[in-house]
């Protein structure tokens, strides 16, 4: 290896940045949750659609696709499967009979409760060893980062921050 190559390698060995750490945490969360969600009998895509509909019942398929950042056709296939599983239902939009709105069925209730339990268990594991003050500080700092990013974006962002999170 040349001297230049050795120097380049040294500059790459830096402390991971905060955004890198946040993305790493998100990846680990997703992997861990996926394993646990399979016990409920859902794929990641399916539980994400159920959670999105629970967050905004009565949304249209295009709204769900947009929130999940997937193609409308992709969302449609997942929605079709969840409808076959009787976890969601399409209802005609009273204002536009050509459009359908998405709702959870009664059968989705226990599934959503189980996914919520899994999420709470994962969060407890992730935050183990942090005091309530540490958790409040972390939440505040992350909320500030989100607000900074939303506030500097040149295009509208569909982000809602409330007591339930994003």
Predicted TM-score of the model (pTM): 0.68
Name residue 92's beta-bridge partners. 100
Neighbour count for residue 98 (Cβ, 10 Å): 6
Q: What's the pLDDT tens digit per position in 131-152?
A: 999 999 999 999 999 898 887 6
Widest CA span in the chain: 71
Res 163 pLDDT > 50: no
Res 36 pLDDT > 50: yes
Burial of 106 (0-12, 13-18, 19+ CB in 10 A): exposed
Tell me the CB-side half-sphere exposure of residue 76, using CA atoms within 13 A: 5
DSSP state of 89: E
Residue 10: which pLDDT band, with cuts at 50, 70 and 90? Answer: low
CB 64 within 8 A of CB 48: no
Query: Kindly report the CA angle at 162 between 160 and 165, in degrees rounded to 5?
Result: 85
Q: What's the pLDDT tens digit per position in 68-114?
A: 999 999 999 999 999 999 999 999 998 988 889 999 999 999 999 99
Domain ranges of the chain: 16-123
Q: What's the pLDDT tens digit per position in 40-51?
A: 888 888 989 999
Q: How confident is the prediction for the chain on average, in pLDDT? A: 85
Say which CATH topology domain 16-123 has: Arc Repressor Mutant, subunit A (1.10.10)
């Amino acid at each position: 290896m040349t001297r230049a190559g050795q120097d380049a390698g040294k500059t790459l060995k830096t402390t991971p940045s905060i955004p890198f750490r946040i993305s790493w945490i998100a990846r680990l969360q997703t992997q861990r949750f996926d394993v646990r969600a399979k016990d409920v009998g859902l794929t990641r895509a399916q539980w994400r659609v159920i959670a999105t509909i629970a967050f905004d019942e009565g949304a249209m398929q295009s709204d769900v696709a947009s929130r999940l950042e997937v193609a409308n056709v992709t969302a449609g296939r997942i929605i079709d499967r969840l409808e076959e599983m009787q976890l969601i239902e399409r209802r005609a939009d009273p204002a536009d009979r050509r459009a359908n709105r998405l709702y959870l069925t009664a059968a989705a209730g226990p599934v959503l409760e189980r996914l919520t339990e899994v999420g709470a268990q994962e969060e407890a594991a992730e935050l183990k060893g942090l005091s309530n003050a540490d958790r409040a500080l972390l939440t505040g700092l992350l909320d500030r980062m989100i607000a900074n990013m939303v506030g500097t974006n040149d295009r509208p962002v569909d982000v809602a921050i409330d007591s339930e999170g994003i």
